Amino acid sequence: MSGDKAKQETRFQAVGVSPGVARGALYVVRDDGDEIPRHRIEASEIPNEIGRFETALIQTRSQILEMQERIAQSIGAKDAGIFDAHLLVVEDRTLIDEVLRKLQADLCNVEFVFQEVATHYAHTLSQIDDPYLRERALDIQDVTRRVVRNLQGKAPKDFLGLTHPHILLAHNITPSDTATMNREYVLGLATDLGSRTSHTAIMARSLGIPAIVGLHNATEKLETGREVLLDGYNGLLILDPTPETLWHYGELEHQRSLVAEKLTGLRETKSTTRDGRHIVLSANIELPDEVEAAPRNGAEGIGLYRTEFLYLNRTTLPSEEEQYATYRKVAEQVQPHPLIIRTFDLGGDKLAGALDGGDEMNPFLGHRAIRFSLERPDIFKAQLRAIIRASAVGNVKVMFPMISGLEELGRALAVFEECKTELKNEGSEFDPTTEVGAMIEIPSAAMCAERLAREIDFFSIGTNDLIQYAIAVDRVNERVAHLYEPTHPAVLRLLKMVADAGHAHGIWVGVCGEMAGDLALTPLLIGLGMDELSVGASLVPRVKRAVQSLTHGECQKLVGDVLELDTPSAILARCTEMAQAHYGELLG
C-alpha cells in the first residue's frame, strides 16, 4: 500500500484478474472464523438469551426467504427450492427445545449453546448411512453459521444480501459465492486472497466483472461505504480517488472502447492466420446463462462447459432429468457449433454443498474431478446419461477432467460405453458417434499422451492445472503466485509433447486453460500446433485479431527459438516481442 496525502487518495496494489474499471462504494465482507467465545450467564439472564435466540431465528428465516427469492429470479425456481430444507432447520422443534434445555442447564451464552447443540445434531445425522439425513446435516451446518452470525450482530456472509450496486471486498470469495451472488449489484470484486487461475477469478472474467485479488489484509483496513475505484487491468484499488485520477481513468476507458468498437467488426470473420491456418476459437462457460455471449463475441462454440458450477450451492445433487434439461437447452443454443461438456470437476477449490468432501490437506492433489466421479458411479452415470441424451439435439462432445493415465481413462470410457448401451436398450435417442476427449492437465497424462491419444477423439489442455502440477505452485495461493509461470521451459515441453502426440494419432488438440486467452502467448500456442483455443467469451475478439495478424510459419519458428531458451522470463520476452510487433494495441 502506498499513501499519498497530497492527492488524498490511497492506492492498494494487488493483482488484476478480470479486466475493467469499476467505481462505487465498498461492501466489505469479513471472515471472522468459527471461534465462538463461551461465557457464563446468570439464571436471571435466561429470558433475555431466549429472546435473542428467537430474534435470530426470525431474522435467519427472513434472510433465507429473501435469498430463495433472489435465486429463483436469477438461476431458477428449482435451485431456489433447496432452501426449503434450510427453512425446516430454523423450525426444527427438537433442535430448538434442546437449545432451551441446555441453556438452563449450562448457564452460558446462547450462541455457544446453539453452536454446540447444532454441531452435535449435524454430526449425529452425518454418521447415519442415509443420503437424505446426510444432506440434512449439511443444511444444519449452513443454517447454524447464519443463526450464529445473527446472534453476534454480524452481516450475513452471503453476497445475495446486496441490494444496491457495490464493489465487493472480501477476505476470500469462493466459486460457490460467485455462482450465487446477485450479479447486477456487483460492480467489481476484490479479495485479500486468490490468484489469476483461481476459479473465482475465472468466473469473474466470464461474467465480465472487473476483479482484483491478493490485497493481503485490505478487509481489515477498509470499511463498507468508502468510495473506491477498482482497476482490474492493473490490479489497483484506489480509495477516495482524486478528480485527476478519475479523469485519467475516463480517458483510458475511452481509448479502450475505441479498440473494442473496432473488434466488434470481427464477429463474422474467420480466425485464420495470414498463411491460411484455421484455429478454432471457442468460449469457456461456467453457467448456462453465459452461453449467449459466445456467438455475440464470434466464438465457434463452447470449448469448455464447467458443469459443476451450477451445483456448487446445492444441498441435493441434480438428477439425470434435471441435467438433461439444462444440457439440452445449452446444446440447442450452441448448435450447429460444438458444445464440449466437461464432467464434474468437483474438489480443489470447488466444493459442492451436496457432497461431504471432508477436509483434505492438499485438496488439489486429493479427491477431485474424475477420481470423485469414478468413485461415485451413481453420480457419474446420471451425468453421462444426461450428456449423451443431449447429443440428440446438438453437436455435443464429452470430456473428462484430471485424467492421470491410461487405466483411469479406460475406466471412464467403460462407464461412458455402459451408459450408451443402457440408453440404446431403453430406446433413447442420442448420437452414437458423440466424440469423447480427455483434459490433459496432469503431467503424467502429458507424458503418456502418445498412448492416451489412441483411445479418444481429442485432447483439451487444461493449462491452469498443468502448470500448477508441473512446477508445484498452488494455483490459488497468492503467496506463490509470482512463481506460477506459463512460460516455464518445462511447461513448454509438456505442451509440445501433447500437441505432437495428438497429431501423430490424428486427433485434434486444444487449450482451454487461461493461457489460451493470454495474447502474449498466442504466437507460442499457434506455433506449437494447437488446433483450438477456448477462452472466456469476452476475450474471443482479441484472440481472433491476434490469430489473424500472425502467420503459422513465423509462430513455428518462434517455438524453435524459444525451445533453446532456459528461463521463463526469456521465453516470455520473445513471445511478447512478437505479439507486440503484430498487435501491440491489444496488449496495453
Instruction: Quote the least distance from Cβ 463 to Mg ion, whole Å.
Output: 9
Which of these, 142, 138, 178, lies nearest to 159 by C-alpha position?
178
Instruction: Quote the least distance from Cβ 356 to ligand PEP, whole Å.
Output: 21
List the end-to-end C-alpha distance of the chain, in Å, as a whole number.
Answer: 24
Which CB sits closer to ligand PEP, 68 or 464? 464
Beta strand pairing status for 280-285 and 532-536?
parallel
Instruction: Say which entry of ligand PEP, Mg ion, none residue 512 contacts (CB below 5 to 8 A, set by partner kind).
Output: ligand PEP
Among 512, 552, 575, 582, the active-site one is: 512
Alpha helices in 216-358 (DSSP H): 218-221, 243-264, 293-296, 320-334
512 is catalytic: yes
Alpha helices in 265-376 (DSSP H): 293-296, 320-334, 369-375
Instruction: Quote the least distance from Cβ 552 to ligand PEP, whole Å.
Output: 24
Instruction: Say which entry of ligand PEP, Mg ion, none residue 343 contacts (CB below 5 to 8 A, set by partner kind).
Output: none
463 scored as a contact of ligand PEP (CB under 6 A) = yes
> Of the ranges 13-21, 315-323, 424-432, 456-464, which one interacts with ligand PEP (CB under 6 A)?
456-464
Which CB sits closer to ligand PEP, 114 or 305? 305
Which CB sits closer to ligand PEP, 25 or 471? 471
∠ Cα 69 71 72 (to 5°)? 65
Show Cβ contacts of residue 271 under 8 Å, excluding neighbours closer than 6 positions. 278, 279, 280, 281, 300, 543, 544, 547, 548
Instruction: Quote the least distance from Cβ 260 to ligand PEP, whole Å.
Output: 25
Beta strand pairing status for 166-170 and 236-239?
unpaired
One of 464, 487, 522, 549 touching ligand PEP (CB under 6 A): 464
513 scored as a contact of ligand PEP (CB under 6 A) = yes
Q: Which residues from 349-408 bind ligand PEP, rule CB under 6 A? A: none
List residues near Mg ion by CB under 5 A: 441, 462, 465
Count how many Cα atoms sit within 13 Å of the Cα of residue 111 in the half-sphere of its side chain. Answer: 17
Instruction: Say which entry of Mg ion, ligand PEP, none residue 463 contacts (CB below 5 to 8 A, set by partner kind).
Output: ligand PEP
How many residues sit in the footprint of ligand PEP (CB under 6 A)?
11
Chain-centroid distance of CA 97 in Å reads: 40
Alpha helices in 128-198 (DSSP H): 131-151, 175-180
Beta strand pairing status for 395-400 and 338-342?
parallel
Which CB sits closer to Mg ion, 348 or 502? 348
∠ Cα 114 120 126 (to 5°)? 130
465 scored as a contact of ligand PEP (CB under 6 A) = yes
One of 462, 510, 523, 568 touching ligand PEP (CB under 6 A): 462
In angstroms, the CA 368 to CA 499 distance is 25
Among 166, 171, 199, 488, the active-site one is: 199
Chain-centroid distance of CA 139 in Å reads: 23
Which CB sits closer to ligand PEP, 458 or 583? 458
Instruction: Quote the least distance from Cβ 490 to ligand PEP, whole Å.
Output: 16
Instruction: Quote the least distance from Cβ 401 to ligand PEP, whole Å.
Output: 7
In angstroms, the CA 303 to CA 460 distance is 8
306 scored as a contact of ligand PEP (CB under 6 A) = yes
Which CB sits closer to Mg ion, 353 or 462? 462
Instruction: Say which entry of ligand PEP, Mg ion, none residue 306 contacts (CB below 5 to 8 A, set by partner kind).
Output: ligand PEP
Instruction: Quote the least distance from Cβ 468 to Mg ion, whole Å.
Output: 9
Show Cβ contacts of residue 253 under 8 Å, excluding neighbours closer than 6 positions. 21
Cell of 353: 454443498
Which CB sits closer to Mg ion, 364 or 508? 364
Instruction: Quote the least distance from Cβ 335 to Mg ion, whole Å.
Output: 26
- Looking at residue 206, its amino acid is S
> Of the ranges 35-43, 51-59, 328-336, 458-466, which one interacts with ligand PEP (CB under 6 A)?
458-466
In angstroms, the CA 270 to CA 281 distance is 9
> Of the ranges 141-149, 428-436, 459-467, 558-566, which one interacts with ligand PEP (CB under 6 A)?
459-467
CA torsion 262-264-267-271 (nearest 10°) is 40
337 is catalytic: no
One of 512, 540, 543, 555 touching ligand PEP (CB under 6 A): 512
In angstroms, the CA 533 to CA 526 distance is 9
Instruction: Quote the least distance from Cβ 311 to Mg ion, whole Å.
Output: 17
Element containing residue 242 per DSSP (H, E):
none
For the chain, what is the radius of gyration of the CA atoms? 25
Q: Please state, in angstroms and as integers, the Cα–Cα distance from residue 132 to each residue in 62, 125, 189, 302, 375, following that order.
A: 25, 9, 36, 35, 19
Q: Which residues from 201-230 bind ligand PEP, rule CB under 6 A? A: 202
> Of the ranges 112-120, 247-255, 261-269, 461-469, which one interacts with ligand PEP (CB under 6 A)?
461-469
345 scored as a contact of ligand PEP (CB under 6 A) = yes
Which CB sits closer to ligand PEP, 79 or 465? 465
Catalytically active residues are: 199, 512
Binding site for ligand PEP (CB under 6 A): 202, 304, 306, 345, 441, 462-465, 512-513
